[in-house]
Amino acid sequence: MSTVEDLVKRIRIEGWCVVDGVIPPDEVVKVRDSLVATADGRPEDLENGRHAVRGIIAYDQAIAPYLSDDRILGVTEAFFGKHVRISMTTGVILHPGYPRTDKPGGGLHSDWPFGQGYDYSIPAPYPDAPLLLTSLWMLTPFTRGNGGTVLVPGSHRASNNPTGDSSLVPGTTHPSEIQAEGAPGSVLLFDSRTWHINGHNNSDENRMAIIARYAAWWFNLNPIVPGLSDFERDAANRGFRPDDVVPLTPEQYEALPERTRPLFHHIVIGQQVLPS
């Protein structure tokens, strides 16, 4: 089993790692079944063979106990210090036949805020510093045949990505790309600058995962949290309301495991500053 130090070193050098066995085998089935039940209850989230339940922690907390795993927090705190937060969560089911996207801007990319098409993106050339870590919690095997995530090792050190002015035409492959593989219960963890995209699910089974993005305590998440003034002002100007984050009610927050709550305290509805 890799140590936290080994995992941190690999992310610093290659941009990614796989943390094995975070969810025990007998428990990953429960998390997977819970995701399926949640997705089945939200048919509006299914589009062209990809079921993406955004803000899933507000609908389904089966993954919650594992989000504060010692190794995962050990890695995130090595990059960001204490008081790490989760910026957003998404449950994803890739159905058989779901392709690797080849439309402009939809191929290899970096996650928010590095993608150049996002609101509040960091303009390229962006600084060589990790700001967020993306995690994919494997609820089924990740293989080359079922759409395991495609990554370009070392791309986190680039100052741009294919959504901006890079040498790679959006929608094309990269000569150095690899596919992450792992058993159910493992976690793919990478610097959010790393170029990546889902692979083609060429199998006859669903490929399932839950995505959670970890951010430093000082990183401004207000523009993506509904109910906060930054979000509401820009939603009014845009004419639509992004749904990547679904705020938690106080009851949903209290239902989280005690160790996991601090990761989500910033999205609880109706927070007030208590008098000293």
Q: What percent of the chain has pLDDT over 90?
A: 76
pLDDT band per the 50, 70, 90 thresholds, residue 274 = low
Q: What percent of the chain has pLDDT over 70?
A: 95
User: Mean pLDDT over residues 89-111, rounded?
Assistant: 84
pLDDT tens-digit readout, 152-169: 999 999 999 888 876 777
pLDDT tens-digit readout, 193-237: 999 999 999 999 999 999 999 999 999 999 889 888 888 888 888
Architecture of 4-267 per CATH? Sandwich (2.60)
Predicted TM-score of the model (pTM)? 0.94
Three-state SS letters, the chain: CCCHHHHHHHHHHHCEEEECCCCCHHHHHHHHHHHHHHHHCCHHHEECCEEEEECHHHCCCCCHHHCCCHHHHHHHHHHHCCCCEEEEEEEEEECCCCCCCCCCCCCCECCCCCCCCCCCCCCCCCCCCCCEEEEEEECCCECCCECCCEECCCHHHCCCCCCCCCCCCCCCCCCCCEECCECCCCEEEEECCCCEECCCECCCCCEEEEEEEEECCCCCCHHHCCCCHHHHHHHHHHCCCCCCCCCECHHHHHHCCCCCHHHCHHHECCCCCCCC
What is the model's pLDDT at position 107? 85
pLDDT band per the 50, 70, 90 thresholds, residue 240 = confident
What is the model's pLDDT at position 117? 77
What is the model's pLDDT at position 273? 54
What is the model's pLDDT at position 276? 47
What is the model's pLDDT at position 232? 87
Mean per-residue pLDDT over the chain, rounded:
92
Is the model's pLDDT at 269 over the cut of 60? Answer: yes
Domains in the chain: boundaries: 4-267
